Structure 1
Amino acid sequence: MTTRELNRLHTHDLELGTTEATQKHVPRNVVPPRRISQRRLDFEHRRPRWLRECIAEATGVFMYVLPGIGAIATFTLNAASPIGASAFGSLFAIGFAFALGIAFAIITCAPTSGGHFSPAVTICLCIWQGFPLKKVPYYIFSQLVGGFLAALVLMGIYHQQINEMKELLLAAGKPLVANGAPASILCSFPNPDQSMGYVFFTEFICDCFVGFIIWAAIDPANPFISPAVAPLMIGLAYAAMAWGFGDVTLTMNMARDLGPRIVAAIFFGKEAFSYKNYSPIAILVSIPATMVSSAFYEFVFRDSVSVIQSGHAVHEDGDEALVRHITRTTTVEGIDERRGDYKS
């Protein structure tokens, strides 16, 4: 070891690692990282942007779905154990697994792709926020691939336990595709006594709720949420609906359902799509529901002047048009106020 390596750290310095995130908040210094080479810069410049965005969307959905269905697997596979499922998982644990998975996905992948992780969000961003239409198919395909891969990985991890459960159910003459059966680890299925109209209504309301929270969280003019807590708030919105209505049957995301449902059909049969004609509700309802909730936010709650003042948007006709708008609306309000004083 050289003298330079021995003297690399002063007594007040912090070594490279997670400590880098603290350098703005603590008085101690972090030693400088290795200098970036031109070869590195050239490599990063050559990477196709669209490919990085697609990989980020697939990775984000993978990171969000895998913990959630893993928590479902823990709960389902131990339901008949002597200790009981409550020792290994619960609806509360499942909701938290999805919430933290969503938060982790946003903080790791959103800087690259924007962090949609849902076809419904991608479509609504295209409608309301100017997300390029040509990217929509790529994003949705990537999201579905992420959910599909997460389900495949889970089947690999729990292959032995799922096979044991499958053999027991087949020996008892019970179905593999139903709520509480092995296929329900990957995707949702309604209870036998549930009507599809009731399930549709619940899914629609819960999806509207989550979509509304997402739109509020990504509004740059919202003073009550910072970029640091937005990922957790979005995740907790999903968890809150899972805690409140998970026993009714929910998916709340096409990417979370369709990819794993394809894997369920591969391992447990095509009934994964035909069971009680439920799959269209699970796959599609999140899209119109999020469109409704985002439209509600855009028409009622959006304050574009505040967004412009925050520096996140500009007037399409330039600053002069913005000044004319502010002058005109301020003048009108002033006149109305003076008229009210005069009448009183």
Structure 2
Amino acid sequence: MANMGRLQTNDLEIGATEAVQQHYSRHVVATKPVSQRKLDFEHARPRWLRECMAEATGVFFYVFPGIAAITTFTLNAASPLGVTAFGGIFQIGWGFAIGISFAIITCASTSGGHFNPAITICFAVWQGFPWRKVPYYIFSQIFGAFMAGLLLMGMYWPEIQAFKTESITAGKGLVYNGGPASILCTFPNPTQTNLGYLFLTEFFVDSYIGIVIWACLDPANPFVSAQSAPFAIGLAYATMVWGFADIAISTNLARDLGTRIVAAIFFGGESFSYLNYSWIAILVNIPATLFATGYYEFLMRDSLSKIAKGHALHEHGEDGLHRHITRTGMIETGSANAIKDGQNGSDDLYKQDTV
């Protein structure tokens, strides 16, 4: 017999309403109790496996919509409807942006939501992320992009095969910007033979995104909430796609290397050797993001606000913090406001809630 209690009109049914329960006076019908078997299983499950799967899944969620949008546009670019029906760079930018947002929403609570080898390395350099985790995070990220490329090839296989035949018949080959291999990874235009120019373009784009990411993740930043950060980060990627995708950008080592391996499998080794460009697409992301996050850490970070809002501690505790304020003699307006907003009383001005 059905549980008649679930028919109460003042209850909200189990589902998405659980996430917004705090905003409603009504309550969500309770889920079934958690079994001991489930708790034992989750306890026995290795933490590293959860983190790896979250990073791989997040990169998949980010890469797949983006390359699917590229594929749709590329395969239909020559049709009479062309860009009008199947989008263009604007659609591609949104594909990556929303994909990144969903990746963060879905997986960041499990692994921290790096989804980029350069970001993982920056967390290890600046924020104390364990170096022992860096290799398997990076492997998982590349694997996620690889699986996205592989699935795309399977889903679009008949159309890609027809496009390959058409491209070979026209004497264009398979690896070039706008060709079959370019649905998976980036290639420069034939006229872009200046590697220095391509390097600087990629370095700027990755630095721009890196600064935005670091600002969004700064707990002292009053303009970005936990709810808006995924969309702000996604829009940073989209902005660079809209501005620079037509002159070859990669933006993420994992996104490029994972799909480039798939391109090499299906379209040949020229996917790595074409115009000697692949090293820029794969490697520039790391130094550019290190530069961007270093720029933020050295020139823009306000650690006093971070401490005041309860997201960090002074290395010598409250005594060390008071000594610092006494020694410096004054507090910048921004930090002072943060401390004022964060205080609960004069006796716990710098109280730390959680780390």
CA positional deviation for 1:317:
2.0
1:173-188 equivalences in 2 (<5 Å): 173-188=171-186
- State the alpha-carbon separation in 2 of the partners of residues 101 and 299 from structure 1: 31
- State the alpha-carbon separation in 2 of the partners of residues 151 and 331 from structure 1: 55
Gaps (5+ residues) in structure 2? 333-355
Instruction: Go from structure 1 to structure 2 and tell me whether the alpha carbon gap of 1:203 and 1:41 turns closer, same or farther (over 3 Å shift).
Output: same
* 1:101 equivalent in structure 2: 99
Q: Percent identity?
A: 63
Instruction: Go from structure 1 to structure 2 and tell me whether the alpha carbon gap of 1:15 and 1:178 turns closer, same or farther (over 3 Å shift).
Output: same
* 1:272 equivalent in structure 2: 271
- State the alpha-carbon separation in 1 of the partners of residues 81 and 185 from structure 2: 25
Listed one character per residue, the Cα deviations across residues 150-189 of structure 1 (whole Å, up to 9, x for unaligned) are 0000000101100000011112221110000010000000
* 1:30 equivalent in structure 2: 28
8 A contact 1:76–1:85 mirrored in 2: no
* 2:254 equivalent in structure 1: 255
Listed one character per residue, the Cα deviations across residues 83-124 of structure 1 (whole Å, up to 9, x for unaligned) are 213311210010000000000000111101000000110011
- State the alpha-carbon separation in 2 of the partners of residues 8 and 287 from structure 1: 53
8 A contact 2:207–2:292 mirrored in 1: yes
Count of residues paired in the alignment: 331
8 A contact 2:325–2:331 mirrored in 1: no
- State the alpha-carbon separation in 2 of the partners of residues 318 and 213 from structure 1: 30
| SS of equivalent residue, structure 2 residue 34 | coil
- State the alpha-carbon separation in 1 of the partners of residues 98 and 223 from structure 2: 21
8 A contact 1:60–1:105 mirrored in 2: yes
* 1:167 equivalent in structure 2: 165
Gaps (5+ residues) in structure 1? 334-344
* 2:124 equivalent in structure 1: 126
| SS of equivalent residue, structure 2 residue 281 | helix
User: Which of structure 1's runs of 4+ aligned residues deviate more than 6 A?
Assistant: none
* 1:10 equivalent in structure 2: 8
Residue type at the aligned position of 2:15: G
CA positional deviation for 1:22:
2.4
CA positional deviation for 1:302:
0.7
* 1:299 equivalent in structure 2: 298
| SS of equivalent residue, structure 1 residue 24 | helix
8 A contact 1:9–1:15 mirrored in 2: no
Listed one character per residue, the Cα deviations across residues 259-314 of structure 1 (whole Å, up to 9, x for unaligned) are 00000000000000000000000001110000111001000111111111111111
Q: Which moved more, 1:24-33 or 1:227-236?
A: 24-33
Residue type at the aligned position of 2:40: D
Instruction: Go from structure 1 to structure 2 and tell me whether the alpha carbon gap of 1:328 and 1:11 turns closer, same or farther (over 3 Å shift).
Output: same
- State the alpha-carbon separation in 2 of the partners of residues 332 and 45 from structure 1: 46
Residue type at the aligned position of 1:273: F
Residue type at the aligned position of 1:287: I
CA positional deviation for 1:8:
2.0
* 2:141 equivalent in structure 1: 143
Residue type at the aligned position of 2:202: E
8 A contact 1:162–1:182 mirrored in 2: yes
Residue type at the aligned position of 1:303: D
- State the alpha-carbon separation in 2 of the partners of residues 8 and 115 from structure 1: 36
* 1:45 equivalent in structure 2: 43
Listed one character per residue, the Cα deviations across residues 29-49 of structure 1 (whole Å, up to 9, x for unaligned) are 211111111111111111111
Residue type at the aligned position of 1:242: V
- State the alpha-carbon separation in 1 of the partners of residues 5 and 203 from structure 2: 62
* 1:230 equivalent in structure 2: 229
Listed one character per residue, the Cα deviations across residues 36-69 of structure 1 (whole Å, up to 9, x for unaligned) are 1111111111111111111111110011000000
- State the alpha-carbon separation in 2 of the partners of residues 219 and 8 from structure 1: 42
Instruction: Go from structure 1 to structure 2 and tell me whether the alpha carbon gap of 1:156 and 1:330 turns closer, same or farther (over 3 Å shift).
Output: same
Q: Which moved more, 1:255-264 or 1:25-34?
A: 25-34
8 A contact 1:16–1:31 mirrored in 2: yes
- State the alpha-carbon separation in 2 of the partners of residues 87 and 72 from structure 1: 13
- State the alpha-carbon separation in 1 of the partners of residues 131 and 82 from structure 2: 49
Question: What's the C-alpha RMSD, in Å, of the aligned pairs?
Answer: 1.3
Residue type at the aligned position of 1:58: A
Q: Which moved more, 1:204-213 or 1:313-322?
A: 313-322
* 2:307 equivalent in structure 1: 308
* 2:220 equivalent in structure 1: 221
Instruction: Go from structure 1 to structure 2 and tell me whether the alpha carbon gap of 1:23 and 1:332 turns closer, same or farther (over 3 Å shift).
Output: closer
* 1:114 equivalent in structure 2: 112
Q: Which moved more, 1:197-206 or 1:209-218?
A: 197-206
- State the alpha-carbon separation in 2 of the partners of residues 147 and 76 from structure 1: 19
* 1:81 equivalent in structure 2: 79
| SS of equivalent residue, structure 1 residue 241 | helix
Residue type at the aligned position of 2:140: S
TM-score by length of 2: 0.91
Listed one character per residue, the Cα deviations across residues 225-260 of structure 1 (whole Å, up to 9, x for unaligned) are 101000100010000000011111111000010000
| SS of equivalent residue, structure 1 residue 246 | helix
* 1:341 equivalent in structure 2: none
* 1:338 equivalent in structure 2: none
Residue type at the aligned position of 2:298: F
- State the alpha-carbon separation in 2 of the partners of residues 11 and 318 from structure 1: 52
Instruction: Go from structure 1 to structure 2 and tell me whether the alpha carbon gap of 1:267 and 1:320 turns closer, same or farther (over 3 Å shift).
Output: same
- State the alpha-carbon separation in 2 of the partners of residues 332 and 140 from structure 1: 40
